[in-house]
A and B are shown apart, each in its own frame.
Chain A
Amino acid sequence: MTPTYYLVLSAALFCVGAVGVLIRRNAIVVFMSVELMLNAGNLALVTFARINGSLDGQIMAFFVMVVAAAEVVVGLAIIMSIFRTRRSASVDDSNLLKY
């Protein structure tokens, strides 16, 4: 059994996150699915570090984590301000630019 199993698990988690982004309507749950996809990418990076025998992959995962933290802060603030004006966190209700 090789570490490839981790990569297959990370691909599966990534696809679950992608399905969540596609089918959920609540903006916060969509955002959580994006986080799941980032985490799956991190698992792949850490596994690549082990396969290649160098620590660069773990550094990359660390940077992904930092960027994800910054992204969550800004994204949740945007969701909050949308909710404040439209009283809804559903992605279907943000349709001012539709027509």
Chain B
Amino acid sequence: MTHVLAHPLAGQVLALASPGAMGTGEKVAFWVLGIIALGCAIAMVAARNAMHSALFLVVTMFCLGIFYIIQAGPFIGMAQIIVYTGAIMMLFLFVLMLVGRDVSDSLIETLRGQRTAGILVGLGLAGLLGGGIARALGSIDAKGLEQANATHGGNVPGLAALMFTRYVFAFEVTSALLITAAVGAMILAHVQRNGEKKTQKEQSRERFAEGNHPAPKAGPGVFAHSNSVATPAILPDGTRSARSISPLVEPRELTAEDTRPKDTLTGGGNQ
């Protein structure tokens, strides 16, 4: 454990947190990181895009990891950063990439007033929980962890001494849980192929079958006024082809300013 304590920064952080009461440095860290963590948590819930939500949650979890380190738990803080922000959130990002940006995450409420009611419930819960905790533990005398950390020569040896004696059964059960989860994920993610793989001949027959469109879909339109992927292609009969635009791309209404002929020949001015 001496190597963690020997690092000057780690030693300073642990010394900062050793007393039960919060020192000045810890207060500053708490107010700065606490506001960032809470703000990013709210932004995570409010963000329309699921990818933004995941990134906001990464920031919140990172702040919590630093809180753990400040509170004399360097091991749990590092585990938080490695396991949560490193592994779990990257898994979330992978699944978001696979599932794609969900088109159906609409603003239409299935139950009327559910969003307002949910926010009210959250505010009420926050008031009750925060008020209760603040009243019950507001003037508590915290003992601090310096003695517990020093008993076995540091935080990690102290945790190891507990984990492999008093909590050794829970630790063993944890390994069974992890193996079960890994096997379960493999079974759920496995796709069973039904029947034989189609030959090229069958695929070709299917493509030219009745009701199918054998040619590739028309690409989005490339016109003088716009070459955006949201511009539908114009079919030979003059209609716009809905098949040429991806459903994931939001159509954008062009204003008169956007469609105005740009006077490129006269150098920009049209006076």
Q: Which A residues fall within an 8 A CB radius of B?
A: 1-9, 11-20, 22-26, 28-29, 31-33, 35-36, 39, 42-43, 46-47, 49-56, 58-59, 61-63, 65-74, 76-81, 83-84, 88-90, 92-93
For A32, the chain B residues whose CB sits under 8 A away are 44, 53-54, 57, 92
B99 engages A58 (CB within 8 Å): no
Contact A50 B137 (CB under 8 A): no
Whether B148 pairs with A53 at a CB distance below 8 angstroms is yes
Q: Can you report 16 residue pairs joining A to B where beta carbons are below 8 Å apart? A: A3-B71, A4-B140, A14-B129, A28-B95, A46-B71, A46-B73, A49-B145, A50-B72, A51-B140, A51-B143, A62-B159, A69-B178, A70-B177, A74-B188, A81-B189, A89-B105
Query: Which residues of A are found within 8 Å of B102, using beta-carbon distances?
Result: 26, 28, 88-90
Most chain A beta carbons < 10 A, residue from B45, B129, B133, B141? B45
B38 touches A9 (CB 8 A): yes
Contact: A5 with B95, CB < 8 Å? no
B125 at the interface (CB under 8 A from A): yes
Measured between beta carbons, the chain B residues less than 8 angstroms from A29 are 44-45, 50, 53, 105
Name the residue on B nearest A72 (C-beta).
Answer: B88
Taking a contact as CB atoms under 8 Å apart, the answer to whether A11 and B133 are in contact is yes
Nearest-CB residue, chain B, relative to A44 = B133
Question: CB-CB < 8 A to A24: which residues of B?
Answer: 45, 105
Flag if B21 contacts A2 (CB, 8 Å): yes
CB-CB nearest in chain A for B134 = A8
- Within 8 Å CB of A39, what residues of B? 60-61, 64, 80, 84
